[in-house]
Structure formats: structure tokens, C-alpha cells
Amino acid sequence: MDERSGGHHRLIIVLLMVLLFGVLMIQYACPSKSECYMLHQLGSWLAVGRKAGPGYLGTDPQDGALARFVPRFNFTKADLNRVVDFNIKGDDVIVFLNIQLERPCECHAGQKKCTCLRPGKKETWLFSRFSTGWSCGLHADWTELTSCVPTRMDSQEVAKNLPRPLVPLLSEWRHVQRGATWKASLHVCEGRSPTLSELPNCYPGDDWSGCSLQEFIDCQYNLANNRQTRMLADLSLVGCYNVSTMSEDERWAVLLESAKRNLRGMAFFGLTEYQRKTQYLFERTFNLEFIAPFTQLNGTRAASVDVPPQTQHTILQLNKWDVQLYEYARDLFLQRFQVARQQERRQARERRQQERRRLRGRVDWWDLEENLTMDDYLDNVEQW
């Protein structure tokens, strides 16, 4: 027992001496943290790996949809790789709706508009209802914005958030049901608003308060149907609001292709059903960060509406162009997200490789210095 115990003690002493020798060697090679890269960079590698690895957004339950996602449409590299050199101090402007960013907007309680000025200038960098108000008309569409914004801003990047097709119609119906109207909307196209014969009213009085959902969707002049397609398309391609120039299917087919083309050309667009991915793509596209992560909230007024299955089917049939646009937009959005994540992983991998090469070069240099020192020592011994 004594002999075995003595062996254990000797082993412990040897291990302690090895540990002490290792600490001394580290202190000799790295006298301070600012100069020591081996341990410090190891920690940074792990941090980068955690941030850029699969787990970065993997805790987001929305990533399940990405794992099952199979692309249906073909897009060019330019369509998918959307990184904008946005200069907040220059002349660039983001045209956006319903968004608040970290810098440099000042929003105060009770105010309908926020102040979003460039650093050191009295110029706005964000064009939206919450910063500039309805400068181009109430809920201006693509046709109105493209003719209005350039006269107010020199350089702009357009961004948009898209909800599911059924949601905006139900939301608008509830809004109209409470007495809201679109009377302040200009619907300007090719320099003029539509005539009453081109865009008749759906109700005779001052508003449409109390209307049923069936009454709302039955009006053939109701712009709520296929609103996203119409608002993202160039209406001048179909004669604006003059529906006599072509058949209804031809008209909507042209508008759908125009909306798809404009969507591809946008610097950024997001989907309300993928809030975290939308935030990730926006921050990566414009190099702007939000002060807090997006939260997926589905508890809207539209979500609380109990719609019978048959009525839902009717609404989706009436809004078939919006359904097609959303399928296209979802495919493009998720492909953009995939490309962005792949680029981020590749960049993180390249950074790690560069750090390893730099560390190997530093270790090789240290070994060379040690060998030279030993050679000098042996030369001196021979001289003595």
C-alpha cells in the first residue's frame, strides 16, 4: 500500500511540474493578453462559430420551414445577392412602410411621426408614413411612389413587407367596417386620378361602416381584392384604371408580371410570417441594426375573424393573383435567405482559416527565434 501510495504521489508531482512548465512557457511566449493570440484567438474562433454556425438562427422555430423548403423558381445571382451600399450620411433614402430602426430616429409618445435625420444634417433618410407622413398620398402604391419620391429624394432604395393574401383583405374589411375610408387616396397614374366611371364607389353614403364580409368581397370595384399585386405593379402598363383596354385576365397577367419584376428589383422585401428572417435580411442588406429582435405576433384583428371555409375559398379565388404573387415572393425570399446564410458561413470559415494561418506563422516564427537563440548559446559555449 505504501509503495502504491508513493507512486501516486510521484505521478502527481510530475503532473504539477509539467503544468508549471507549461504556464511558464505561455508566460514567456505571451507576456500580456494584448500580445498573446493563441488562447485569445481560440475564444474568438468559438464565438464566431457560435454566431455564424447553424445554431445562429437555429433556435428560431421558423427555420423548420427552411429545412422543408424546395425552390420552385429560378433566379439570377443578382436577384438573390442583395447587399446595398447604403450611405446614411450621403443622399441615399430608404422608402419603407411601418418600420422603426435604431438610428437615428427620434420617436416621442403622442407624435404620429418620428424624426429620422442624417447625422449632422437636417435631411431625412427614411421615407415612410411614420417619418414623412403620407407625402405621396394615403397608402400610395408603386406607381404613385415611383413618380412622387424621385421629386423629393435624390437616391432611394425601396423596401416592402408582404403578408399572406387572406390577411390584408380581412384586416381592411374590419377597418372599413369601423367607418374608415380611402377618400384621401389619390390613385394617381400617368399624372391624373381615375374618374368616377373608371373607379366607382362600392357604397352610396359617406362610409361603408357595418358592411358584412360578403358585401365587402362582392363589390367588383373594391380595390382590396388583389391589392398587393396592384400596389406593386406599374399600372401604366395596363392603361391605369381604364379597364376597357384589355380583358380582365390579360390585365391581371400583365400586372402580376410587373409586380414580380418590381419585387425582384427591390433592395429588400420581407414576409410578415418570417419576422426573424426578415430582420436578418434587412440588417444584412443595409448594414443597419434594430435595437431588439423581431417578435412573431399573429394576434391581429384579421386573425381573430372566424371565416367559414367556403368563404375563405371564395376570397382566395377572388385574390388568385395575390396568391400567385405571394408564392413567388416566398420562394424568392427564402432563396435570398439561404444565399445570405451560405455567404455568412463561408465568410466565417475564411476568417477562421486566416486566423489559423496567422497563428501558425506566429508559432513558426517563435520556433525559429528559439532555434536562433540556442545556436547563439552553443556558439558562445564553444568559444568559452
Spell out a b/e string for 5-38, using b for 16 or more CB atoms within 10 Å of the CB, else e: eeeeeeeeeeeeeeeeeeeeeeeebbeeeeeebe
Rounded to 5 degrees, what angle do the CA atoms 335, 338, 344 make? 140
Question: What is the spatial distance between Cα 118 and Cα 103, in angstroms, rounded to a whole number?
Answer: 9
Which of 8, 40, 139, 175 is an active site residue?
139
Instruction: Decide if 139 is catalytic.
Output: yes
SS3 82: coil
DSSP state at residue 103? S
Number of other residues whose CB lies within 10 A of the CB of residue 209: 13
What is the identity of the amino acid at 30? C
Bridge partner list, 203: none
- What is d(CA 147, CA 190) in angstroms, rounded to the nearest whole number? 9
CA 43 → CA 26, 32, 47, 88, 348, distances in Å? Answer: 16, 16, 6, 33, 14
Phi, psi of 189 (to 5 degrees): -145, 125
Alpha-carbon span 125 to 157, nearest angstrom: 10
CA distances from 307 to 26, 185, 200, 221, 323 (A): 70, 28, 27, 22, 18
Nearest 5°: the CA angle 262, 267, 269 is 75
Q: How far apart are CA 147 and CA 235, in angstroms?
A: 12
Which residue shows C-alpha cell 425570399? 333
Q: Residue 141 carries which DSSP code?
A: -
What number of residues does the chain have?
Answer: 384
Q: Indicate which residues carry an active-site annotation.
A: 139
